[in-house]
Amino acid sequence: MNPDYIIVGAGTAGCVLANRLTEDGRNSVAVLEAGPSDDYLWIHIPIGYAKTMFHPVYNWGYYTEPDPNMNGRKVYWPRGRGLGGSSSINGLIYIRGQSADYDRWSAAGNNGWSWKEVLPYFIKSEHNADVKLAARPTHGSGGPLWGSSIPDPHPVMDAIIQGGVELGVKHTDDFNGGDQEGVGYFQLFTKNGWRCSTAVAYLRPAQRRKNLRVEVNAQATRVLFEGKRAVGVEYTQHGVTKTIRANKEVLLTAGALQSPQLLMLSGVGPAAHLREHTINVVHALPGVGQNLQDHLQFRVMFKLSQPISTNDDLKSPWRKAMMGWNWLTRRAGPLAVGINHGGMFTRVLPESSTPDIQFHFAALSAEMAGAPTHPWSGCTFSVCQLRPESRGEVRLKSTNALDAPAMFSNYLSHETDRRCAVESIKFARKLAATPSMASIVSEEYRPGQHVKTDDEILDFARTYGATIFHPSGTCKMASDDDASGVVDTRLRVRGVTGLRVIDCSIMPTLISGNTNSPVVMIAEKAADMIKTDAQHG
């Protein structure tokens, strides 16, 4: 029997939709996930983030095309593969973005997407384990997705918070009330010391329902059309090509890289580019794959004068054993946190009216995210610009859906982004030089004190800058009079019927912070819109 809805991708958004579209028993849903189930233990232990960063099975392991703005480097872009998608391998950080982000979407013509209108979906999704936060009007309890506070303070993070206050940044206990400005501990997507991915929070409870079918190792290769109506999906599973038809709609939830790739492979996209690959044009839609945005991070690292970092925990057999014991007995300690304990949102550009940079603070240091820690005591200030002006694109390399798409990041191609990069690194140095931080910092490891001028700092950014894993915007939501739009405000693909895109690719502009929580919100809101539209024919 054909399902009512086909969901392509059991990632962050796909798991939410699978749950919400089957909860009242009225709809049947089939989910196609290209990767495997999430039964790898290190997915579920928060510090296992380091184990999945380069995993050949649970990570797509993409690289961008050589970027001339990054000294010709290809930049590694990890993306989750398997149930839960990137919510199963990310840094677990619970950030919604600023209220101004969503008001900006609304002001651009995206009716229904203001902060006031999306906040109920953030609240609906949330179970805040901190009862003090849960009682606030911007938070919730009883939702599927747990947000938990870090149970134990850390001396490095405490020094950073005090240093931030010394620079005039307020201490905050809540980055998710709409006004992010401040420094403090993050909340994490964890439940009792375990990762709370959307597969755990949403999909697992729904899999008991008879109206939900989940297929793993099922790689979608194209959307099937009859005229301009999407009617199903072609996919490969264990080397066999299969097709499945939808009674109502096909929902693409494959993420900012693969949703536009799949649209183009299916004949929806820039006409000239599709013809280059001898793909029959179902509908010419020039915005598909355009508007690519990402948060580019710069990892400023310091050696510490005291053995108080996670580096020290990992190199000592006794302290390493205590890490395990702490997690086993209390579900606390470094294994329950992952990498980053806290953050800061602040402003470095004079024209910014809201925070324009975000720090992720880690009580460890390594040559790159997920790499082995240094043999000395260290900490890392990872800083990124929140609202980059640079725009890249996603294009096809071939007509084979198993090939990675071509990703052109175009980092630092805009002057504002270059200014922000330099000023953010300068701010990191100011923070490390505060009295509270100076008491534990022995020296700057990277960039190093030899990097002094603005040009030298910018060259460091080009040489070492890396993604903080938030590619977005490639199937832009826009009003009807914006020719660059791919989906309308109800996330329906323009020019065709029976097809929606529901993931971070629909973001008109990248939100100010980590993207997991906003994608959950997008999917929660989309589920309501799908149900409403079905009722009204």
Q: What is the pLDDT of residues 362-421, one digit of tens each?
A: 999 999 877 889 999 999 999 999 999 999 999 999 999 999 999 999 999 999 999 999
Report pLDDT digits (tens) over 152-185: 999 999 999 999 999 999 999 999 999 999 999 9
Residues known to be catalytic: 470
Per-residue pLDDT at 180: 95
Report pLDDT digits (tens) over 427-453: 999 999 999 999 999 999 999 999 999
On whether the CB atoms of residues 9 and 253 are closer than 8 A, the answer is: yes
Per-residue pLDDT at 269: 98
Calculate mean pLDDT across residues 234-239: 97
Q: What residues contact residue 301 under an 8 Å CB cut-off, 6+ apart?
A: 365, 378, 379, 380, 381, 444, 445, 446
Tokens of 407: 């990703």
Residue 537, pLDDT > 80, answer no
Report pLDDT digits (tens) over 176-216: 999 999 999 999 999 999 999 999 999 999 999 999 999 99
> Quick one: pLDDT band at residue 59, thresholds 50, 70, 90?
very high
Closest Cα partner for 91 from 469, 355, 445, 358? Answer: 469
Given this structure, which CATH class describes domain 1-146+188-293+394-410+472-537?
Answer: alpha beta
> Quick one: pLDDT band at residue 131, thresholds 50, 70, 90?
very high
Q: What's the chain's length in residues?
A: 537
> Quick one: pLDDT band at residue 35, thresholds 50, 70, 90?
very high
Q: Where are the domains of the chain?
A: 1-146+188-293+394-410+472-537, 151-185+296-385+412-464
Per-residue pLDDT at 84: 98
> Quick one: pLDDT band at residue 50, thresholds 50, 70, 90?
confident
Closest Cα partner for 384 from 294, 446, 321, 452? Answer: 294
399: alpha, beta or left? (left if phi > 0; alpha if psi -120 to 50): alpha
Report pLDDT digits (tens) over 458-511: 999 999 999 999 999 999 999 999 999 999 999 999 999 999 999 999 999 999
Residue 94, pLDDT > 90, answer yes
Per-residue pLDDT at 1: 82
- H-run or E-run covering 431: helix 415-432
Q: Are strands 187-188 and 145-149 parallel, antiparallel or unpaired?
A: antiparallel
Given this structure, which CATH class describes domain 151-185+296-385+412-464?
Answer: alpha beta
The torsion angles phi and psi of 395, rounded to 5 degrees, stand at: -135, 170
Percent of the chain with pLDDT over 70: 100
Report pLDDT digits (tens) over 512-526: 999 999 999 999 999
Per-residue pLDDT at 370: 78
The torsion angles phi and psi of 185, rounded to 5 degrees, stand at: -75, 145
Provide the whole-model pTM: 0.98
